[in-house]
Amino acid sequence: MNNIILDKIIVEKNRVEYEYTASGLVKEYLNLDEKFFIEYSIDISDVPESILVIPFLCNMLPISWVCDTEIKVNEIDKDFYDSINDFKQGYIDMYPKVDFKGTLIANNIVDNSYTSSKRTASFFSGGVDAFSTLISHVDEKPVLVTLWGSDVKLTDVKGWNIVKKHAIETAKEFNTNNLFIKTSFRLFLKEGKLGNLVYEKARDYWWHGFQHGIGLIGHIAPYAYINKLSKVYIASSFTEKDRGKVTCASDPTIDNFVRMASCKTIHDGYEFTRQDKVHNIVTFKKNNNRNFELRVCWESEGGKNCCSCEKCYRTIYGIIAEKANPSEFGFDIDNINKIENELKHKIVLSNILIPLWKDIQNRFIENKEFLYEQYKWIYKINFDNINNDFRKKYVNKLWKIIYKIKGKINL
């Protein structure tokens, strides 16, 4: 029998820590040496246990489902409790081959409902998706919520300071506030092992396929409760066109069903392609004379756009296709010709990335009269044939090896 018992929630000023015991096979997938803690940039000591339990459950429930585990907690918020089966269904539909079992037992179900204020919040990493959501709801002045421990490791202090500075500058520019959250939610579990457990049936790994949507969303619970938030936005990474073709833990069929106290979650911007979002951002910046930069890249420690990875290249070209200058958006490119060469000969594009490049190509064609000679190659390239079989085979094998190693060393 697999069990997780949440023995105690320790809350002190701005910090919450979860003391729990685990037994059975599920223990193999948890890093019991790593405390599960969260630190907020606000005082949360008056937040009730039934709300504080939400971040814990949002990250523990998917583990309990795939490991058929019973979780026991003392108190739980009624709205959140009632939403669990709805967002679990999103997972069941997304991964029909995976068995989602597990049970949740709570001693008390507490009604924390409130009359909502007009305030909203938005998860903010600083990239294209996050900016598009911020711009779409600019009049609401959503509070920008940025997590340390998500894409930036807790050991990367330098990187975090850059991310934080960028989020503060953006909040200032948009006349709103920040909420910063430091969290060990990627450390208390064994991400690689969980990935190996589900990969065969789900064809996706833990963070991307199972954790990062609700895992992030849950963190807002104490803040939503204190500020009587009406909704929280999480920016979409994919779009309507991808429905049924890609799996991702952050999906409208999951995120939109997560509720807490009286706060709703909105998976925002699903109607836009990534290139639509770049278009919206470029247009907004021009029309409103705003000063902000994008931060899309996690490749380099230090939190800056590295300008030498596929994602940076894609964003740089996406911006150029909209007749704008990438250097005004936080990209310092020393050699633009490098991109053509690397894309043709080095980078292997996955089936998810090819349509994104084709969208960029289409915008180049639409805006042809505005564009310079040096980008000529992008009109001619056939993105469907860009990867030859050798490159595809090589990269797929490499990824499998990386994840096997990660699983073994319990990352």
Binding site for Zn ion (CB under 5 A): 297, 299, 306, 309, 312
- Cα separation of the two ends of the chain: 25
- Element (DSSP H or E) covering residue 389: helix 389-408
229 vs 307, which CB is nearer to Zn ion?
Answer: 307
What would the DSSP string read from start to end of 33-72? TS-EEEEESS--TTS-HHHHHHHHHHHHHHHHHHTTEEEE
Total residues found in the chain within this entry: 411
Nearer to Zn ion, 119 or 304 (CB): 304
Burial of 240 (0-12, 13-18, 19+ CB in 10 A): exposed
370 φψ region: left (φ > 0), alpha (ψ -120 to 50), beta (else): alpha
Nearest-angstrom CA–CA distance, 411 and 402: 11
If the CB atoms of residues 221 and 312 are measured against Zn ion, the closer one turns out to be 312
Q: Which residue in the shown chain puts its C-beta closest to Zn ion?
A: 297
Identity at 108, one-letter amino acid code: N
Q: Which is nearer to Zn ion, 258 or 356 (CB)?
A: 356
Could you list the beta-strand ranges (E) of 98-177: 103-110, 120-123, 143-148
Nearer to Zn ion, 309 or 353 (CB): 309
Q: Which of 303, 322, 307 is nearest to 366 (CA)?
A: 322
User: CB of residue 156 vs Zn ion: minimum separation in angstroms?
Assistant: 15
What whole-number distance in Å separates Cα of residue 276 and Cα of residue 331? 19
Of 216 and 297, the one with the shorter C-beta distance to Zn ion is 297
**Strand arrangement, sheet containing 15-23:** 103-110, 69-77, 2-12, 15-23, 36-40, 178-183, 143-148, 120-123, 231-235, 263-268, 259-260
Which candidate, 172, 177, 122, 183, places its Cα nearest to that of 147? 183
Sign of CA dihedral 57, 58, 60, 64: positive
Nearest C-alpha neighbor of 67 from the set 30, 18, 19: 30
